[in-house]
Amino acid sequence: YLEDSPKLVSQILAALSNRDSAALITPAHTLKSSSANLGAKRLSAMALDMEKCGKAGDIQGPTQGAKHLIFEFEQVKTALNALLSEPDGN
């Protein structure tokens, strides 16, 4: 997750920057699923919203939510790194 998710976020941001709603769908879908598997529900929901917008051809909504997605992703990353660095190895 920590290796692949930053790439997905970058792909989402590139799709938004290029105003390419079709290019938004796959990375948003993948981030949604992998985040849900970790229990990162808020990030998963944000990615789902972006996926839906991509499918609808709407680039404006996701563009406005990009800062929130980045912030939430950083929160998830920080929490996951903290868990991984616990002394018991969990």
For residue 89, pLDDT beyond 90: no
State the chain's mean pLDDT as an integer.
93
**What is the tens place of the pLDDT at every residue in 58-83?**
998 888 889 999 999 999 999 999 99
Could you tell me if 44 and 36 are in contact, meaning their C-beta atoms sit under 8 angstroms apart?
yes
Quote the CA–CA distance of 28 and 86 in Å, as a whole number: 30
Residue 77 CB neighbours (<10 A): 17
pLDDT of residue 21: 95
Who has greater pLDDT, 61 or 40?
A: 40
pLDDT of residue 90: 53
DSSP state of 40: -
Q: Per the structure block, which two tokens stand in for 4?
A: 């692949």
The average pLDDT across 33-62 equals: 94
Task: Using pLDDT thresholds of 50, 70 and 90, give the confidence band for residue 39.
Answer: very high
Q: Per the structure block, which two tokens stand in for 49?
A: 């919203």
